Amino acid sequence: MDASWVVVADSRRARIFLPDASGHRLTETTEILAEEEGATEPAAPPEPPRGGRLAMVSRKDPQEHDAAAFARKLAQTLAQGRADGSFARLVLVAPPHFLGQLGECLSKEVERMVSLKLSQELTHLDAVAIREHLPARW
């Protein structure tokens, strides 16, 4: 089996696992955590136009902002792993929304190495339970 990373993540935490040669057992090698809560401050509300009312303005909530920042951080870690030759194939497991955020941050080179994307929240499970959620071959 080629060197693979199985990345199990959510918007606050990512765990990187290495499968054994048979692909039947996973060993956790790395845990990456988001910055501490409150590390980013929400943007100040915009000033209303002179003499007018404030129109509806779309702002990301702080949790969404933090999740996007963590997706970028994780994407950088994956890009570094690819550059170092640490993996030839990549499995990404994350809740649907975060999986989408992460996908937007991945470089084309890393994206080409993704062999499986699984839209599930599994960060709370141990390695044996996570492996049970993966197909026999990926």
pLDDT tens, position by position, 28-54: 999 999 986 444 444 444 455 555 554
Sheet holding 114-119, edge to edge: 26-33, 13-19, 4-9, 89-94, 114-119
Residue 126's domain comprises: 4-33+61-133
CA–CA separation, 43 and 41 (whole Å): 6
Structural domains of the chain, count: 1
Residue 48 lies in a domain: no
> pLDDT for 48-77, tens place per residue?
555 555 444 445 588 888 999 999 999 999
Question: pLDDT tens, 68-102?
Answer: 999 999 999 999 999 999 999 999 999 999 999 99
Q: Residue 107 falls within a domain, yes or no?
A: yes
Does the reported pTM lie above 0.85? Answer: no
Q: Report if residue 75 sits inside a domain.
A: yes
44 inside domain: no
For the stretch 11-26, pLDDT in tens is 999 999 999 988 899 9
pLDDT score recorded for residue 60: 57
Domain of 97: which CATH number? 3.30.420.60
